[in-house]
Structure 1
Amino acid sequence: MRVISVPHEFNEEELFIDLRASLGCPLFLKCEGFNFAGSVKLKAATEMVESAERDGTITPDSVLVESSSGNLGVALSVIAASRGYRFVCVTDSRCNLATRLMMEALGSTVHVVTDHEAGSSLLAARLEYVKGLCEADDRCVWLSQYTNPANWKAHYRNTAPAIARGFPQLDVLFVGAGTTGTLMGCARYFSDWHRPVKIIAVDSAGSVTFGGAPGRRMIPGLGMSVPPPLLDGSLVDEAVLVDEEDTIRTCRALARRGFLFGGSTGTVVSGATKWLARHPDTGLTAVGIAPDLGERYLDTLYQENWVRALYNDDLTPPPTSPHRPGLGLPLRTT
């Protein structure tokens, strides 16, 4: 029996799914959504708050503020509620309704940015609003997930070692790229490890993180509209871009096998599937990190009207046979 006093003391670290049975893909998926925040972001939130408490940046009357597309906002809401801090999350119109309601239920204030200047991004508008909050009230503490080294240190200390323990013969690791905290923490850890591991970053098409052209992105989580300050590209072996249509198809194919995951996870699995199809080495040990679960996406990527309105297609995979896994996942491999 395990007994905890605060929510961040529980995080399921050792759960992996073998996707060969579900998708016919030689990939082990590390599930990071089984905690009270529902995503991998609980680790970064905990590390950033505890680091700021240790150095005195956060005091008992501090008001925590952060820009987030959703999952980190929920994680910080959990931490703030358990520690007695006020928290203001600045998000934008792409944030799922369920995510906003969850943050508010935890006692946080949610400000949704809907307008931005021509030529700028919603992220830039969010950051400007955060800066304005800090200038107006000196109690405000901006944790800045985009620049805070505690973001990647959380994964250097926790996520990557758990993968190494479970897969001592690991060959390739697939990590989604948002702020690149998870990516950099894992990349730095395996760079220091005793054997080589390929680090494959998985990013959303339309993200500029790895030099691509900016484009529309409607699924929150992965991807950036500005180059992420935490990224050290020398630690990444390759980047794979995934169209949002493929993210949705992958999520729905996994759901048809009983695994309801979020958009970030669908992107990672889609990117890993594409990469592994180009490298058909049956001896590879491959792991992907699944950042989130799917309940917060029920009114978006699992909702027919939302999908049809944005992509002119329902993107529903055909039924799969339990004896022929993977047939419901029509992903491009080039």
Structure 2
Amino acid sequence: MTIVQHPFEIAAPPLFLDLNKITGRRLYLKLEGHNAAGSIKLRTASALVRHAEQTGRLRPGATIIESSSGNLGVALGVIAASCGYRFICVTDVRCNHSTLNLLHALGAEVVMIDTPHPVHGFLQARLDYVRSRCAADPNLTWLNQYESQANRLAHYEGTAPAIAQAVPNLDVLFVGVGTGGTAMGCAQYFREHHPRVRVVAVDTAGSVTFGDQPRTRYLPGLGSGVKPPLVDPTVFDDVVIVPERESVRCCRQLAGGGLLAGGSTGTVVSGALRWLADRGDMVAAAISPDLADRYADTVYDDTWVEQHLAKQDLPDLPDLQFAGVALPEKVS
């Protein structure tokens, strides 16, 4: 029997789903949604807090402030509530309602940014708010997931080695890019320890991370309106850009095969299948950041999809070929 002392220590052992029966591809999906915070961001949050504690920046009873589109906020909320810290989560209007409810339940102060920066969107507006709040109150501790090397190291030391051990014959790994911590940690680990494995970054259309033109994005998680300081594009073997409506389409198709996946998972799996389509039989893995529970009123809501994504001025892509999984008719 395993007994832990804090809720944020609750985590399932490394868990991979073979998507072959759903997609017809040897694609192993590392499921990160089975922990106390419901996403891979618990790894990041734990590393950020531990580093701040070890360096003396975070002391008992302190107040943490961080910008988040959702999942990191929940993860920090879980840790803060467990450890006696106050937590201020700076998010924006794209944050899912279910995520906001969880943040409030955890006792976090939630600051909602409703006006984007005129050039760099909501992320820049959130960062500007955090900086102004910290300037006004020096007692706040900003963990800064966007620049902290603890973000990258969490996945260099934990996520990537677990994948290498579980899939020793791996040919290619697909990783979504948000702040860049997960992607950079994995790419640098495989480059140093298993250089034959290719690492492909998956980004969302409208994100500026890899030079795409900035456009309005509606799904939180992947992508950025500001160049992520942690990201070095040269460490990746390739990049795939996925429109948001294709992320939704892929989520719905995965659901048709019994997997209820989050929006970022739909983006990564869609990108992986398109990249693999004309490259023969390869052993592939991808990281699923979270599951579907926080997307019930967005990705899996036909009205929301019609209102937000149906009229996006983005190129249509051919339907992905899934193994016997039909696409629900109402998804455009």
TM-score above 0.5, yes or no: yes
Cα distance in 2 for residues equivalent to 1:120 and 1:276: 32
| TM-score, reference length from structure 1 | 0.92
Change (3 A) 1:118 1:232: closer
Alignment of 1:305 onto 2:303: yes
Give the aligned partner of residue 205 of structure 1.
205
Alignment-mate amino acid for residue 144 of structure 2: S
Separation (CA, whole Å) in 1 of partners of 2:54 and 2:29: 34
**Distance of 1:24 and 1:327 partners within structure 2:** 14
In structure 1, how many angstroms separate the alpha carbons of the residues matched to 2:310 and 2:178? 26
Which residue in the other structure is 1:177 paired with?
177
Counterpart-to-counterpart distance in 2, 1:269 and 1:329: 18
| Alpha-carbon distance in structure 1 between the residues aligned to 2:328 and 2:158 | 32
Contact 1:88 1:110 in 2 (8 A): yes
| Conserved? CA contact 2:22–2:325, under 8 Å | yes
Instruction: Give the aligned partner of residue 324 of structure 2.
Output: 325
Deviation at 1:75, TM superposition (A): 0.5
Please tell me the residue identity of whatever aligns with 1:303.
D
Instruction: Give the distance between the partners of 2:120 and 2:208, measured in 1 at CA.
Output: 13
Amino acid aligned to 1:184: M
- 1:95 equivalenced with 2:95 (yes/no): yes
Q: Shift in Å at residue 8 of structure 1?
A: 2.5
Q: How far apart are the structure 2 equivalents of 1:151 and 1:13?
A: 21
Aligned equivalents of 1:311 and 1:231: distance in 2? 27
- Contact 1:23–1:327, Cα closer than 8 Å, also in 2: no
Instruction: Check conservation: 2:245, 2:310, Cα contact below 8 A.
Output: no
Deviates more, 1:114-123 or 1:13-22: 114-123
Which residue in the other structure is 1:236 paired with? 236
Q: Is the 8 A contact 2:244 2:309 kept in 1?
A: no
Once the two structures are TM-superposed, the CA of residue 310 in structure 1 deviates from its matched residue by: 1.6
Q: Which residue of 2 aligns with 1:115?
A: 115
How do residues 240-279 of structure 1 correspond to structure 2 at under 5 angstroms?
A: 240-279=240-279
- CA gap of 1:94–1:132, structure 2 versus 1, over 3 A, is same
**1:179–1:329 Cα change, 3 Å:** farther
Question: Partners in 1 of 2:13 and 2:48 — Cα distance?
Answer: 19
Partner residue in 2 for 1:286: 284
- Cα distance change on mapping 1:117 and 1:4 into 2, 3 Å: closer
Do the aligned residues in 1 keep the contact of 2:90 with 2:126 (CA within 8 Å)? yes
2:189 is matched with 189
Whether the aligned pair in 1 keeps the contact of 2:27 and 2:286 (CA below 8 Å) is: yes
Q: What's the offset of the Cα at 1:44?
A: 0.5
Deviation at 1:14, TM superposition (A): 1.7
- Check whether the contact 2:61–2:84 (CA below 8 A) recurs between aligned residues: no
* 1:259 counterpart SS class: coil
CA-to-partner distance for each residue in 1:55-91, whole Å, 9 max, x for gaps? Answer: 1000113210000000000000011111100000000
Contiguous gaps of at least 5 residues in structure 1: none
Equivalence for 2:76: 76
Are 1:144 and 2:140 an aligned pair? no
Tell me, yes or no, if the aligned pair for 2:117 and 2:124 is still in contact at 8 Å: no
- The alignment's TM-score, normalised by the length of structure 2, stands at 0.93
Question: Any idea what the Cα deviations from partners look like across 1:179-235, whole Å, max 9, x if unmatched?
Answer: 010001111111111441101000000001001111121000000111110012221
Question: Is contact 1:13-1:162 (8 Å) kept?
Answer: no
1:238 is matched by which residue type in structure 2? Answer: D
What is the Cα-based RMSD across aligned positions, in Å?
A: 1.9
Q: CA deviation at 1:326?
A: 4.4
Equivalent residue number for residue 131 of structure 1: 131
Give me the whole-angstrom Cα distance separating, in 2, the residues matched to 1:117 and 1:205: 19
For 1:194 and 1:78, the matched residues in 2 are separated by: 34
8 Å contact from structure 1 (residues 240, 275) kept in 2: yes
SS in 1 for 2:129: helix
Cα offset, 1:117, TM superposition: 4.3
SS in 2 for 1:278: coil
Q: Which residue of 1 aligns with 2:4?
A: 4
Task: Give the secondary-structure state (helix, strand or coil) at the position aligned to 1:112.
Answer: strand
Letter in 1 for 2:128: E
Q: Kindly tell me: are residues 127 and 286 of structure 1, through their superposed partners in 2, closer, same or farther at Cα, counting changes over 3 Å?
A: same
Matches of 1:65 and 1:13, distance apart in 2: 30
Distance in 2 between residues matched to 1:160 and 1:84, nearest whole Å: 31
SS at match of 1:116: coil
Structure 2 residue aligned with 1:105: 105
2:163 matched to which residue of 1? 163
1:257 Cα deviation after fit = 1.6
Alpha-carbon shift at residue 254 of structure 1 (Å): 1.0
